Structure 1
Amino acid sequence: MEKRDGPLAGLRVVEFTGIGPVPYAAMLLADLGAEVIRIDRPGGYPALGADLDFASMRAASIFYRSRPLVEVDLKAAAGRDLVCRLVSRSDALIEGYRPGAMERLGLGPRECHALAPRLAYVRVTGWGQDGPMAGMAGHDLNYLGLSGVLSRFGRDGAPPVGMPPLMGDMAAGALFAVIGLLSAVMQARETGRGQVVDANIVDGSASLATLLDALGAMGLHGPAGNNPLDGGRHYYRTYLCGDGRWLVVGAIEPAFRRILLDGLGLSDEPIFASMDPADDAACAQRMAAIFATRPRDHWVALFHGTDGCVTPVLEPAEAQTHPANVARGVFAEIDSVVQAAPAPRIGGKAGRVSMTPAEASVPRPQALEGWGIGADEIARLVADGVLGAGSG
């Protein structure tokens, strides 16, 4: 196996394949140099629906980049023994099954810590490892509803019909899993003792709402849709332009609002001087009428280089070609798919995609050699059906 580089080089992680937060967390770690080996069941994780071609879906999954895939039959004693040896040589393990699933495989925290006392055992779920809902099924929207976060995105007294699984799965799940994993690894290096990390979306999403909780405690944030930071004020919301495209106005501070109003020719209108929330509907209506007279890019050009906080709402394809994003290399084209480049940047440098999604979708049992498993044993396990054959 090639030598890894990056700030997390030297960190070894065993990932048990799932959907959503676990592969994203593992991708982030691998992009930053961690040596992650992804364990999947023979034939791959079940498809999300009978009409999906899962083989094609896995080959296209950006989530799986930067680390090799090994298919292991965990129902076979030889498969479990193999995984135990990998765990014994690891700093961390990350899994996203229902509570108790890993224990039934004989790979729970007790067994794994017996093999690797310093192991960070990271468990990613929706509801958490215990409590009255721990064994229930759920998805992103369910967890956000329980944590109170979903209601914060409401308008006119109703929560949103739905939301992409970004704040829940990707932020509250995956990012808190990464934080927990790295924290447990650092603690183990000081104490020699591993930990179980309970990274769940209810806990994480509740934590993400801390700013709004703080503002609410100060009397500065109330019911959704009526606040300065959720579109309740005319100076912090989106507006429709004359070409049917949208614009963001984010001029919260008074100095920035002056620039905004000067650009729109509204500085002398008394209604904008009062800053009375009761005038917001009229202010928003006045601004909306002005923005509707010109196309979006006219307004973007007018405020470019100023502190008026006026920027476009870009479609994904537009974002990929926007000059600011191109200049910073925010996106990369890999396997003919444009995707976000590794983040964050550390020491001025981004991470590196060490294996493309297409390469990472093919089982590579030979990757086990980098973990101390001999070529002859790998060949025998493939012949016995314990390992997926994959590609050389």
Structure 2
Amino acid sequence: MTGTATMRQGPLSSLKIVEFTGIGPAPFGAMLLADLGAQVLRIDRPGGYPPPDPTLDFEKMGPAAIFNRGRHAVRVNVKSVEGRALILRLVAEADALIEGYRPGTMEKLGLGPEDCLAANPRLAYVRMTGWGQDGPLSRMAGHDLNYIGLSGALSLFGEQGKLATGLPPLIGDMGGGGLFMAFGLLAAVIEARQSGKGQVVDAAIVDGSASLYALLKALAVAGGGQTPPGTSTIDGGRHFYRTYVCADGRHVAVGAIEPAFRKVLLKTLGLDSDPRFLSNEVKDEAYCTERLGEIFAGQPRDHWAKLFDGTDGCVTPVLDMAEAEAHPQAAARAAFIDVDGVMQHAPAPRFSRTPGAIAITGAEGCRNAPEALEPWGFGADEIAALRAAGAIE
């Protein structure tokens, strides 16, 4: 599917949010909210926000800056009197504010919760950090791997009892961070519309990533303890729930946990009469894993994908990002959209009556756009005066 920037729409179209530019979880959460219609105005620093990697230039990335989509940016000198007044005026019109700085940073700027809630008593003041707003680590630097390491989440990833050396910033930054931040923001806004009172939302990656493994914690308690990573039923420790290497070096994922699905798996592979597969005894695990490994290694990945297509054997190809975008399932659901020449995910989840849309592309979201203040009640003369005063670029 090919798409371009469109009108802002979605179930959150009544929501107005001020977002202070950052990296990682906060902009990801803001993107999710904007995809579903929220009017998000990003506050950037003079000169633009520096990328975490000096070899990257967010503005030159243009449409590839997917995390910037759905909102415009205005570069504001928040240290100036005029810049601070501008922010407080925006806050007075907003439902929520998002900031992802170290605890105390916004207070030093005169834009902490006390100042902003005075300007708008109904405001949801959302703070996105790794460690949270308090505790002995709250002012210490860290990144995704540190946060999920401390939360217990990282200990669950590995192979054959050996811990993973590293993980992409998905479980912490995006899952435990950005998603929980957006969830908390919406909860606070809903409550404020009922009570008329705002509040501070303390979204911490270390908290959210611990919440994500609630099921695994329950299973560990039920089974008497946590097993080493990669050795349990649902993390690669059993032959019927793991990945296998195929003849072409690519992989398939086998997820036949339930006996009915496992029966289809074994019958399709001609193993339904092998007593060691039928016994389901842990003592036979090494044999079963080795045997399946030999079989899958005998043909390329796409052979197995075709063989199991349409069955309940729970065998699917492991795709890279480009392959996932072209898969028939994704195509049927228009799960990825070509926006300005860059394939990217469509807004999710989906709504039957008020679907979301990408209102502003990454290229537009990157650039400084003072005119974006107009929908917030600023006239052209006021914007020109703010520029002349050095409050905005």
TM-score by length of 1: 0.96
Distance 1:49 1:214 in 2: 39
* 8 Å Cα contact 1:61-1:357 kept in structure 2: yes
How big is the shift at 1:58?
6.1
Partner of 2:189: 185
What SS class does the counterpart of residue 162 from structure 2 fall into?
A: coil
Per-residue CA deviations over 1:290-345 (Å, capped at 9, x if unaligned) read 11111111111111111110100001111111111111011111121111111110
Number of equivalenced pairs:
387
Confirm whether residue 312 of structure 1 aligns to residue 317 of structure 2.
yes
Query: Aligned-residue CA RMSD in angstroms?
Result: 1.4
Confirm whether residue 196 of structure 1 aligns to residue 162 of structure 2.
no
Equivalent runs, 1:156-305 vs 2, <5 Å: 156-219=160-223, 222-305=227-310
Partner of 2:38: 34
What SS class does the counterpart of residue 178 from structure 1 fall into?
A: helix
How big is the shift at 1:64?
0.6
Distance 2:221 2:329 in 1: 37
Partner of 2:3: none
**Aligned amino acid, residue 66 of structure 1:** G
Taking only the aligned residue pairs, the percentage that are identical comes to: 59
Confirm whether residue 63 of structure 1 aligns to residue 67 of structure 2.
yes
Distance 2:139 2:61 in 1: 28
What SS class does the counterpart of residue 243 from structure 2 fall into?
A: strand
How big is the shift at 1:375?
1.1
Partner of 1:373: 378
Partner of 1:119: 123
* Higher mean C-alpha displacement, 302-311 vs 221-230: 221-230
**Aligned amino acid, residue 245 of structure 1:** R
Structure 1 unaligned runs (5+)? none
Distance 1:378 1:271 in 2: 75
Q: 1:354 aligns with which of 346, 351, 359?
A: 359
How big is the shift at 1:24?
0.7
Per-residue CA deviations over 1:47-71 (Å, capped at 9, x if unaligned) read 3243333432466311011111111
What SS class does the counterpart of residue 75 from structure 1 fall into?
A: coil
How big is the shift at 1:349?
6.3
How big is the shift at 1:192?
1.1
* 8 Å Cα contact 1:343-1:350 kept in structure 2: no
Summarize the Cα distance change of 1:19–1:58 in structure 2 as closer, same or farther, 3 Å threshold: farther
Distance 1:217 1:348 in 2: 42
Runs of 4+ in 1 over 4 A off after TM superposition: none
How big is the shift at 1:244?
1.3
**Aligned amino acid, residue 213 of structure 1:** K
How big is the shift at 1:371?
0.4
Distance 1:247 1:346 in 2: 32
Confirm whether residue 97 of structure 1 aligns to residue 108 of structure 2.
no
How big is the shift at 1:3?
6.8
What SS class does the counterpart of residue 68 from structure 1 fall into?
A: strand
Distance 2:54 2:237 in 1: 43
Distance 2:169 2:176 in 1: 10
How big is the shift at 1:256?
0.2
Equivalent runs, 1:12-161 vs 2, <5 Å: 12-57=16-61, 60-161=64-165
Distance 2:144 2:215 in 1: 21
Q: 2:391 aligns with which of 382, 386, 390?
A: 386
Distance 1:53 1:87 in 2: 29
Distance 1:188 1:349 in 2: 23
Distance 1:158 1:258 in 2: 30
How big is the shift at 1:348?
6.7
TM-score by length of 2: 0.96
Summarize the Cα distance change of 1:239–1:350 in structure 2 as closer, same or farther, 3 Å threshold: farther
How big is the shift at 1:4?
3.6
Confirm whether residue 322 of structure 1 aligns to residue 323 of structure 2.
no
**Aligned amino acid, residue 70 of structure 1:** V
* Higher mean C-alpha displacement, 38-47 vs 206-215: 38-47
* 8 Å Cα contact 1:95-1:122 kept in structure 2: yes
**Aligned amino acid, residue 298 of structure 2:** T
Distance 2:270 2:355 in 1: 42
